[in-house]
Structure 1
Amino acid sequence: MLKDLFKKQKKYATIPSEQAKREIPEGIMQKCPRCGTIGFSKELEKNLKVCKSCGYHFSLSAPERIQLTVDEGRFFEYDKDLLSEDPLSFPNYPEKVKRDMEKTELNEAVVTGEGTVGGYPSVVGVMDSRFRMGSMGSVVGEKIARAAERAATKKYPLILFSASGGARMQEGVLSLMQMAKTSAALERLHREKVLFISVLTNPTTGGVSASFSSLGDINIAEPEALIGFAGRRVIEQTVRQKLPEDFQTAEFLLKHGQLDQVVHRSELRDTLIQLLDLHWSGRENHE
């Protein structure tokens, strides 16, 4: 009898039933990739998709970013009909684009249009990292160039939110040409003395960081955003030196003069409105 009292009991793992699984909707909880905190998705959305525990900024989709930035009901999209082709007959590229279109309900990796921000008319472009990792192909470059040209014509400030892995390899040199095209369009904006605000989010890398995203009259980034051209390992192998831990973060770039501000997401819209107010006030006084 005493032997039975001290007998080790077998431990069994409980497997949730199919009914229990159905009762917990998918996506109801989210885990912070930095601190590991698990919380309700709805609470995270209320906090602008910023972790309450550590301040980590989750990625935003283009529609979410537009909703947070532009005055409600005051956004009119440009060039929604532009669609990617397959100029190099790259294997499975059309199928991958089609899957991303279905997944994101977008036609490309950037949404451009015009609206008001704090009552100030502006041209706004937002890249979406869910679509081919926000890579810049011919359509992305064309939409951004057209947005810059419309801003120059209308004399509206241009606000561009970058979120990209760089050039789109499936379009080869045509993708690289978009770096020159977008930069040339922004040069016209500069000649017309129209404000360009570039907002760099996590991540902004490759050909996007080396072209339009770094050419703002004012360059702003969200906290701890990864910003850079080549990867850390490639640079370390090239220069044969160990790079600082915070290398290619928004804070590192701010410290070395490549950014004007690092702004928390909760303060970003107000910061943009302040900059637009200064710009419009300056224009009116000049005129």
Structure 2
Amino acid sequence: MAMADQRNDKGGDKRPPRERTGWLSRIAPGVRGAFSKRETPENLWVKCPDTGEMIYRPDLEGALWVTPSGHHMRIGTQLRLKFTFDDGKYERIASPSVTEDPLKFPDDKPYPDRLKAARKATGEPDSISIGYGLIQGQPAVVCVQDFAFMGGSLGMAAGEAFVCAAQTAVKRGVPFIIFTASGGARMQEGILSLMQMARTTLALNEVKAAGLPYIVVLSDPTTGGVLASYAMLGDVHIAEPNATIGFSGRRVIEQTIRETLPPGFQKSEFLIERGMIDKVVRRPDLPAVLGSILKTLTAGRAKAA
């Protein structure tokens, strides 16, 4: 009867909260607070986009974000620079500042707020960052385009960074390398974004006039105005496996020509068979391959010096 008095008709517990506490707290008050909960990171396991397999994050990081199935996941600027340069050592080169939101672009979210969120998420000022160091003992200026920063879009800041990197390569007399990853031009900057296609091309003319190699590493995805400009002007074009490389998306092309495109269309392996790129290289092998290419392309210059 006493037990029945403690419960209502639906079986709910009417006892005060103090009486419903755990037995350990009642016996030894405060002992529970002495032991903090063990914190487990929410992203300790990462799902492979290809197979759906759950991969232990530290293992994935050790494999440079290449899954056991061979899928090359997208990586950020700092990791890309660190594994590219010898011993992970390099000099960061600051990019020139530009006017933000020059067109006062109307959007459902203010453009300055989008920039602020992207900077917070990536830790980078814009989509292109610059580093200088040695790759297998060969000096080079390296640009990295980060897709996590507003889709790696090409805007005024990215264009200025590219021009700065090209001019730095000329000034220091070293090769110029870029890792591309972009959805194309940044719509919030309109025609000013499209102008960067011409500006980057002119900057590359200075690199080539100086007799310096320009190497492009195409990562997933490289599309739009970036592909239509500096991504396809390299002396050597390398691509990571299964990277999407093309100007327009597959669906847009199929709707335009009213035909079904072949399997693997716009993927690295499809394009190398058709001569659009020179070599497909796994991410862990990139530093060695780049070092070999740099040594070959600069051999004559080194002898002349």
TM-score of the alignment, normalized to the shorter chain, above 0.5: yes
CA distance in 2, matches of 1:265, 1:21: 38
- Paired residue for 1:71? 86
Equivalent of residue 260 in structure 1, options 252, 263, 278: 278
CA shift for structure 1 position 233: 1.7
- Paired residue for 1:31? 47
- Paired residue for 2:76? 61
Cα 1:142–1:120, aligned 2, differ >3 Å: closer, same or farther? Answer: same
CA shift for structure 1 position 282: 2.7
Equivalent of residue 288 in structure 2, options 270, 273, 279: 270
The yes-or-no answer on 1:100 pairing with 2:115 is no
CA deviation digits over 1:197-250, x for unaligned, max 9?
Answer: 100000111111111011110000000000111111221222222111111101
CA shift for structure 1 position 120: 1.3
The yes-or-no answer on 1:177 pairing with 2:195 is yes
RMSD value over aligned CA atoms?
Answer: 1.8
Q: Which runs of 5+ in 1 are unaligned?
A: 1-18
CA deviation digits over 1:56-96, x for unaligned, max 9?
Answer: 00111010000110123632222246256001112310001
Equivalent of residue 167 in structure 1, options 185, 201, 205: 185
The yes-or-no answer on 1:40 pairing with 2:87 is no
CA distance in 2, matches of 1:183, 1:201: 20
CA distance in 1, matches of 2:137, 2:253: 44
In the superposition, the TM-score normalised over structure 2's length comes to 0.84
Mapped contact 1:227–1:248 kept (Cα < 8 A): yes
CA distance in 2, matches of 1:148, 1:162: 15
| Identity rate, percent | 44
Partner of 2:298, secondary structure, is: helix
Mapped contact 1:84–1:108 kept (Cα < 8 A): no
Q: Which amino acid aligns with 1:68?
A: F
Mapped contact 2:187–2:193 kept (Cα < 8 A): yes
Mapped contact 1:168–1:175 kept (Cα < 8 A): yes
Between Structure 1 and Structure 2, whose CA radius of gyration is higher?
2
Partner of 1:161, secondary structure, is: strand
CA distance in 2, matches of 1:80, 1:283: 28
Provide the aligned length of Structure 1 versus Structure 2.
268
Q: Which amino acid aligns with 2:144?
A: V
- Runs (4+) of structure 1 moved beyond 3 Å? 19-23
CA distance in 1, matches of 2:246, 2:131: 27
CA distance in 1, matches of 2:127, 2:115: 10
Partner of 1:86, secondary structure, is: coil
CA distance in 1, matches of 2:126, 2:117: 11
Cα 1:168–1:121, aligned 2, differ >3 Å: closer, same or farther? Answer: same
In the superposition, the TM-score normalised over structure 1's length comes to 0.89
CA distance in 1, matches of 2:265, 2:57: 31
The yes-or-no answer on 1:113 pairing with 2:131 is yes
CA distance in 2, matches of 1:143, 1:82: 9
CA distance in 1, matches of 2:66, 2:125: 27
Q: Which amino acid aligns with 1:69?
A: T
Equivalent of residue 149 in structure 2, options 124, 131, 141: 131
Q: Which runs of 5+ in 2 are unaligned?
A: 1-34
